[in-house]
Amino acid sequence: MTIKSDDVKLIGGWQSAFVWRARVALNLKAVNFEFLEETIGQKSQLLLESNPVYKKIPVLIHGGKPIPESLIIVQYIDETWTSGPSILPSDPYDRAIARFWAHYFDDKLSPTIRPLSVAQGDEKKKLIKELGEGLVLVEDALKKISNGKDFFGGDQIGYLDIAFSSVLPWVRVIETLHEVKLVDEATTPSLVNWGEKYSKHDAVKDVLPEHEKLVGFAKFFIAKFVAPAASTSPH
Walking along the chain (235 residues) 10 residues at a time, the average pLDDT comes out as 66 97 98 96 96 98 97 98 95 98 97 89 95 98 97 97 97 96 97 98 97 95 67 49
Q: Cα–Cα distance between 235 and 231 in angstroms, integer?
A: 9
Radius of gyration of the chain measured on its C-alpha atoms: 18
3-class DSSP assignment, residue 62: strand
Q: Which residues pair with 10 in a beta bridge?
A: 35, 60
The confidence score (pLDDT) of residue 228 equals: 60
Sheet holding 65-68, edge to edge: 34-37, 8-12, 59-62, 65-68
Q: Cα–Cα distance between 129 and 131 in angstroms, integer?
A: 6
pTM (whole model) above 0.75:
yes
- The CA–CA distances, whole Å, from 200 to 55, 59, 133, 145 equal 32, 25, 27, 21
Q: Cα–Cα distance between 123 and 143 in angstroms, integer?
A: 31
The confidence score (pLDDT) of residue 33 equals: 97
CATH number assigned to the domain covering 92-216: 1.20.1050.10
- The CA–CA distances, whole Å, from 153 to 69, 90, 92 equal 22, 11, 14
- Break the chain into its structural domains and give their ranges: 5-80, 92-216
Q: Cα–Cα distance between 23 and 101 in angstroms, integer?
A: 20
Amino acid at 103: H
Pairing of strands 65-68, 59-62: antiparallel
The confidence score (pLDDT) of residue 235 equals: 46
DSSP code, position 233: S
The confidence score (pLDDT) of residue 6 equals: 52
3-class DSSP assignment, residue 20: helix
CATH 3.40.30.10 matches 5-80: yes
3-class DSSP assignment, residue 3: coil
Q: Are 176 and 125 in contact (CB under 8 A)?
A: no
Residues 6+ apart with CB under 8 A from 210: none
